[in-house]
Amino acid sequence: MTTAPAVPLPEPDDIVVSVMAGIEPDLAEEVVRQAVADAAASRAKRRRLARALTDDPDLLMSGHPEGPAVIGDFVRALLAHGSRRAVLPKCPECGSTKKLTSLRADGKRICQPCDHRIRASSLSCVECSRPARIYRRTRTGEAICRDCFTLPDGDPVDLITAAVNAVAQDADPAAVRRAVESVAPVGNVYLMFRLLWKIEDTPGLLTGEGAKGSARAARLITALTDAGVSVTAPACPCCGEVRPLSHVLNGSRCCLTCYRKSNSAPCGHCGKERAVATRREDGTPLCSVCMRHEADRVITCVLCDRVRPIGRRTKDGPLCRACFRPTLRICSFCGKGPRRCYRAATGMPRCDTCSRARRTCLGCGKNKHAAARTEDGHLCETCWQKNPISFNPCRLCGTVEYLHSYGRCHSCVHDQQVRQALSRDGAMRPGLQPVHDVLVAGGAKAGLSWLERPSARTILDALADGTCPPTHEGLDALLPNKSVAFLRAALVTAGVLPARDERFAALEQWIASATEAVPDDGERKLVRRFATWHHLRRLRRQAAKKPVTSTQATAVRASIRAAVALLIWLGEHGTDLQHCTKVHLDEWIDGGTTTRYDARGFLECIGLSTQLPAAVLTELLGISPETATAWTQEGGHWARYAATVPAKSTSR
């Protein structure tokens, strides 16, 4: 079964630009392309973004939690670049504009905290039986919460080493311990105990029954055999060959060949029975050969002008696999060649076979892809960069270290990238030199990692263009993220910006955005007045003595969030605050969680301002109907009220 040759699809960036031209024509094309680059680093993400916007362009303006997760990232990038029509999607559970990384049962996207809460409601702890977020699993696989979980006694590394030495009695204990420590992240005791439980529950795991173990147990057996420990490498239960058991089939680990045989189906393009490499949107299976000829994977080669699978993208355009000529070098690992090599510029060329192979690193002892080979053995990328053999003098400053690129050290590259990001036409705007000095003064490697973030590039572009002055107010106008917080903290530490209570400032910004959800203008002003005069005034007086604590900020947010939720609920049920009754309050409280009690402070405050009927004040404050009526008649003013009615103690 064959189909007509695929026609190359337009570039996903061009599709997004054309869609944005119809939505927001005032936004420049280069700005849209930069937003696409910030939101989607890989072509797969860009294809998903282009496909989603082609199907439904309103995803950018509706705020609906639908489509792929890259839609939210693209909206954030557009807002950071000055878009006025893009709207962040809101979580259908909590209404927040956090990143919607999970899917609900109905297909709508939700934020991670709500996903954890939904998952917790469907599971219960094996110890306390409470529905809670699962923290760990017991030895028998049952879920357990954070409060009930305790680690067993003993050092799991010592216990695993003892179990291995019981099988291989002539093994070097130090070599065994290094192999054991290499199969789990440093300090993760829980994963080590999981490995220990698997070894104890499967007595023959180290003597040929490794197919019954976990992936970490398979890595342990590989690390032990590479270290020369006499344990038995397991054979594949399907074919009987001793191969890496990298997949799971019918409850047992198997090799890649057997897994592919079990995962075969007639290819939707060529019709042959082959392993499924990918599937089309309609679910049609494709083999690895035909997958390369799909419309989203073929290009028009700039050299031969033929439609072929992509070989390499260059600055002049895409090349097919026939026209692309990689560099030929003798492999520094296996010594064979000349072979095509993709790392010739590093001085340690590797062929395709050696690039895919994993070896035990001489430095850390872990089984990783080798980056270099020395006389004593192989080194992974991390250990190679730390080894003095890889050090060379910088051609600009002479510093001897592992160079970043083009013969330059990390500090020189960092300084150049910061200066370029803050400059326009080769010159920096007045007032940006202190920002440059602060960024360069930090660690070069950490600074280069920070510059790779799209959010950091957006901030520096705004500073360079003059749309964001280097002040607290200018940084507040940007989309809040960790990059803004980092730059602000660095400028404050260096004395470029004055110190301020960041938690208090963030709380003010949050209140302004959270109250936007109230549809009625009068009620929105009422909530903001309550937040300003009841919460912020008290915190502002305290801030003169000590900073606002996290607990205080959380309490204020809970109070405002509950007040906003109450006003929205009243509007949805055809009433408002002036016509609110005790029946309404009881129905609202009974229909939600205990967090709705946080609205009491708001109701008390507006009740003292005569915004509530006397009947509600009677139930809310615990006072007599006569007192509540007199209070409302006197306008909520205590002095006028006290002149007519004797003060009565209120029960709280």
pLDDT in tens, 545-594: 888 898 999 999 999 999 999 888 888 888 887 777 778 888 888 887 88
Question: Residue 395 above 80 pLDDT?
Answer: yes
Report the distance separating Cα 65 and Cα 57, nearest Å.
14
When pLDDT is averaged across residues 164-176 and rounded to a whole number, the result is 88
Confidence of residue 623 (pLDDT cuts 50, 70, 90): low
DSSP string for residues in 238-283: TT-------EEETTEEE-HHHHHHHTEEE-TTT--EEE--EE-TT-
Per the document, the length of the chain is: 652
Q: 528 or 331: whose pLDDT is higher?
A: 528
Supply the pLDDT for residue 610: 47
Cα 263 versus chain centre, distance? 31
Q: 613 or 526: whose pLDDT is higher?
A: 526
Question: Residue 617 above 60 pLDDT?
Answer: no
Token couple for 428: 């920096």
> Where is mean pLDDT largest: 198-207, 338-347, 424-433, 581-590?
198-207
Q: 346 or 157: whose pLDDT is higher?
A: 157
Question: Residue 622 above 60 pLDDT?
Answer: no
This model's pTM is above 0.75: no
Supply the pLDDT for residue 640: 38
Residue 18 corresponds to which amino acid? Answer: S
Average pLDDT, rounded, for the chain = 83
Question: Residue 291 above 60 pLDDT?
Answer: yes
Supply the pLDDT for residue 8: 77
* Residue 234 CB contacts under 8 Å (≥ 6 apart), including other chains: 208, 209, 210, 211, 213, 218, 221, 242, 245, 253
When pLDDT is averaged across residues 311-320 and rounded to a whole number, the result is 82
Supply the pLDDT for residue 644: 41
Query: Where are the strands (E) in 11-114, listed by range?
Result: 102-103, 109-110
